[in-house]
Amino acid sequence: MKHWLATAAISTALLTAGCTSLHSVSLTQVPADRSTPVSATGNQYSLLGIAFNNSFVDRATAELQQQCPHGELQGVLTEYDTTLYVLVARRTVKVTGYCVEGAGS
């Protein structure tokens, strides 16, 4: 019984453990007016690391733009990372920035 529990515990730990890799980070010019921060996150799971589209990035971008409908997004920080599990990969994009009202007028 103890051998079975130890095997089950080790198997569970190995199957749920992951390794995260940061692929890219980019940052635009940070504005002086940082009173309205905005952020959005998108992620996608794929089996064996095979992904057929990048629509999770489009959804995060649209969500960020919806938070700043009458202003300009500035100081945008974009992070893209992948977490690998045994058979599954999770790709994540995190976008933060500032909504500056009347910036382009």
**What is the number of domains present in the chain?**
1
- 88 occurs within a structural domain: yes
- 51 occurs within a structural domain: yes
**For residue 78, what pLDDT band results from cuts at 50, 70 and 90?**
very high
Query: What is the average pLDDT score of the chain?
Result: 84
- 80 occurs within a structural domain: yes
- 5 occurs within a structural domain: no
- Tokens 């409908």 belong to which residue? 69
- 13 occurs within a structural domain: no
Question: What residues have CB less than 8 Å from 47, skipping those under 6 apart?
Answer: 87, 88
Query: What is the span of the domain harbouring residue 91?
Result: 18-101
Token pair of 3, please? 């051998």
- 93 occurs within a structural domain: yes
Question: What residues have CB less than 8 Å from 34, skipping those under 6 apart?
Answer: 75, 98
For residue 65, the model assigns a pLDDT of: 93
- 4 occurs within a structural domain: no
- 96 occurs within a structural domain: yes
